Amino acid sequence: MRETKFIEQNREKWSEFEEMLRENHKDPEKLNDLFIQITDDLSYARTFYPNRSVRMYLNSMAQRIFHNVYRGKRFPAKRFWQFWTKELPQLMWESRQALLLSFCVFTLACLVGVVSSMIDPDFARVALGDGYVDMTLNNIEHGDPMAVYKENQPLGMSVGIAANNLFVALRTAIFGVLASIGTVFLLLYNGVILGAFQYFFIEKGLFWDSFLTIWIHGTLEISAIVIAGAAGLVAGSGLLFPGTYTRVQAFQLSMRRGLKIFIGLIPMFLLAAFFEGFLTRYTETPAVIRFLFILSSLAFVLWYFVWYPWHQARAGFAEPLQEKELPPLRDQPIQFGVIKDAGESFSDIFSIVLRHPRLNWLGLAVVSALSVGLMGWSAGEDYKSAFSFSRELTGAFGGWWSGLSNMKGAAFIGGQILLFWVVAVAALRSVRQEMPEAMRSQWARPFLGWHQLIALLVAGLMHLFVQNIALGGFLWLIGMVLFPLLGLWVAAAQLERASWRALPRSFALIRWGQSLLLGFLIINFALLLFLFLDSPVWEMLMQFFSWLIPPDEGNMHLYSMYTTAFMVSFVAHFTWLMLVLGGAMQYFSGREITDAAQLREDIEKIGALRQIRGLARE
């Protein structure tokens, strides 16, 4: 059918639909019928008139109808009710083994805390801190051991406690991403503290008073932490036991389940914070009432999270849990001939990195190890000062090269520049492997050449800037523009086999708005990684893996020092890898805007392909 005939045949229908949209028609049946007919016409237009205006017109109308249908859609109350009465109990039943394991690990850790306190009287100071122990001893001397719960106003105390408990639980659940190891560690950590805390009062002859006071809120709070541990174990189970899914798909599914369990714990934490802020302070309340209150809280936890899921499973669940459909794993090739925004380029960076793990991840590990070794060799006897950053990261790309002002400093800087150059070459090699065969053959260039010196020069500039970026936020802001430009310069030099001509070419191709956004995404992503290495979480991980090293004096410090140095180096080189890959993505997008190379190629193909009524022949 000719396009004019198609338009003439449906003109009246489309006019009627436009009139309905202008009148903001709310009849759901008519809107549904309207959407089906328009999408049918749109599918036909996409098949036979893909490059005509009628397709754009129908696509615009379909978007308006979709927006009209779903605008202001409210979360149904029935769905909210089903989550608490059906979905969460079913999740808890299917996660019962993880809940049992979490409970056993936490209980074992509590026993370790108790036994450690029995063996070492000062263990409570190690677990709880000198400040808390001295404050409690002072309260005991003044005849009110539980005075800590009466010092602040109830409302402010409840809000602060709720925020802290939610953070602890979220951290316990989220740490399942570390194949559940992080969750187990936090369960052990919190369990040991609880055991030492409770035995501290037992040792002072205050078990009953402390039990009736602390567990008014602690019953819900500790139970929620144990269940959050189960959520973390569930979240990490996809990495350990993917089943018939790929490991990435299994992790996506298990992470969703773990987060749903955590969401179910939010009311418990809020209620526990309310109890701690408003009820725990009344230590003069009769013991019987407080004991019954604790039993009631425990009964609720056991009923809702243990018995009710069992009862629902025995009666039979209405239907299996509906998992959100995962998109099929398709290795979509990188589109080099299209114009992309910063978000699409950022996504392509990670796609390339993940598809070439040997070239990227293994290469980064080797480069980082060489960097740390070079740093230790350059520092000589003064290696401890050279690695002092491991305890005081700046949170930026860091002065981890600073302090190396000895005679071997020049050799160290030269070696670091060479390592940056190797990363740039590896990044562009992975880009080349993503290219179609025809484009790849055009880029079959020798490993060495004048254009390679550009990568070496830019690596040096990157090194100098990295060395000084910690001086202030102004340089950090400059870096968001300069770093993507450096990456684009390297990409242009390699892809066009140019040398100094690549710099003005980069200024011609760059789009400063998108470049700024891409630089913002990359640098702030790197900043988050550096902040993680400067957080208590990293310290806890170092303590957790301390059993891997001999217990000799000073070994723990050296282990933490070198491990942190390796990770800082890895993040810095990974950031440079992303910037070079981002430069390549900018190059192809900017070239299409400036030169329209792919568009010209497509235009030349018009009429060359044999077609049957708009469809290309096989």
pLDDT digits (tens, 9 = 90+) for 423-438: 888 888 888 888 877 6
Mean pLDDT of 281-294: 88
**C-alpha span between 198 and 222 (Å, rounded):** 13
Q: pLDDT band for position 293 (50/70/90)?
A: very high
Counting Cα atoms < 13 Å in the Cβ hemisphere of 306 gives 13
Cβ–Cβ under 8 Å, residues 340 and 557? no
Phi-psi region of 24 (alpha: psi -120 to 50; beta: other; left: phi over 0): left
Instruction: From 216, 198, 193, 168, select the one nearest 106 (Cα to Cα).
Output: 193
**C-alpha span between 277 and 157 (Å, rounded):** 5
Q: What are phi and psi of 611, to 5 degrees?
A: -130, 155
Q: In the prediction, which pLDDT does 477 show? A: 59
Q: In the prediction, which pLDDT does 310 show? A: 93
Q: In the prediction, which pLDDT does 122 show? A: 84
Q: pLDDT band for position 98 (50/70/90)?
A: very high
Pick from 31-45, 261-275, 532-546: least confident: 532-546
Instruction: From 433, 395, 337, select the one nearest 530 (Cα to Cα).
Output: 395
Most confidently modeled range among 22-26, 388-392, 610-614? 22-26
Tokens read off for 383: 């290696």
Is 50 exceeded by the pLDDT of residue 545?
A: yes
Most confidently modeled range among 393-397, 419-423, 549-553? 419-423
**C-alpha span between 579 and 507 (Å, rounded):** 16
CA angle 260, 261, 267 (to 5 degrees): 100
Three-class DSSP category at 610 = coil
Mean pLDDT of 473-479: 55
Instruction: From 229, 265, 245, select the one nearest 323 (Cα to Cα).
Output: 245
**What are the C-alpha distances in Å from 591 to residues 219, 343, 376, 386?**
63, 18, 43, 44
Q: pLDDT band for position 391 (50/70/90)?
A: very low
CA angle 183, 184, 190 (to 5 degrees): 90
**What are the C-alpha distances in Å from 247 to residues 164, 244, 293?**
33, 9, 45
Pick from 173-177, 279-283, 539-543: least confident: 173-177
Is 50 exceeded by the pLDDT of residue 563?
A: yes
Pick from 326-330, 470-474, 520-524: least confident: 470-474
Pick from 186-190, 406-410, 461-465: least confident: 406-410
Is 90 exceeded by the pLDDT of residue 307?
A: yes
**What are the C-alpha distances in Å from 286 to residues 71, 143, 299?**
55, 18, 20
Mean pLDDT across the chain, nearest whole number?
75
Instruction: From 425, 490, 452, 443, select the one nearest 336 (Cα to Cα).
Output: 443
Mean pLDDT of 280-301: 90
Tokens read off for 148: 């800590």
Pick from 86-95, 169-178, 360-369, 544-553: least confident: 544-553
Tokens read off for 355: 């598809």
Is 70 exceeded by the pLDDT of residue 230?
A: yes
- The pTM of this model reads 0.56
Instruction: From 481, 494, 487, select the one nearest 447 (Cα to Cα).
Output: 494
Q: pLDDT band for position 601 (50/70/90)?
A: low
Is 90 exceeded by the pLDDT of residue 101?
A: yes
Q: In the prediction, which pLDDT does 96 show? A: 93
Q: pLDDT band for position 441 (50/70/90)?
A: low
Q: In the prediction, which pLDDT does 412 show? A: 66
Q: In the prediction, which pLDDT does 78 show? A: 73
Percentage of the chain lying above the pLDDT 90 cut: 11
Is 70 exceeded by the pLDDT of residue 393?
A: no
Pick from 42-51, 299-308, 347-356: least confident: 42-51
Q: In the prediction, which pLDDT does 295 show? A: 95
Q: In the prediction, which pLDDT does 379 show? A: 61
Q: In the prediction, which pLDDT does 444 show? A: 46
Residue that is written with structure tokens 């503290």 in the block: 193
Which residues share a beta bridge with 616? Answer: 611
Helices in 76-129 by DSSP H: which ranges?
77-82, 88-94, 96-119, 123-128
Q: In the prediction, which pLDDT does 112 show? A: 92
**C-alpha span between 224 and 230 (Å, rounded):** 10
Instruction: From 311, 156, 159, 177, select the one nearest 232 (Cα to Cα).
Output: 177
User: Comparing 287 with 175, which gets the higher pLDDT?
Assistant: 287
Is 60 exceeded by the pLDDT of residue 384?
A: no
Helices in 595-617 by DSSP H: which ranges?
597-605
User: Comparing 573 with 19, which gets the higher pLDDT?
Assistant: 573
Is 80 exceeded by the pLDDT of residue 30?
A: no
DSSP string covering 440-487, please? HHHT---SSSHHHHHHHHHHHHHHHHHHHGGG-HHHHHHHHHHHHHHH
Q: In the prediction, which pLDDT does 29 show? A: 65
Instruction: From 306, 106, 110, 298, select the one nearest 220 (Cα to Cα).
Output: 298
Is 50 exceeded by the pLDDT of residue 398?
A: no
Percentage of the chain lying above the pLDDT 70 cut: 69
Q: pLDDT band for position 195 (50/70/90)?
A: very high
Mean pLDDT of 389-418: 50
Counting Cα atoms < 13 Å in the Cβ hemisphere of 598 gives 13
Cβ–Cβ under 8 Å, residues 156 and 241? no
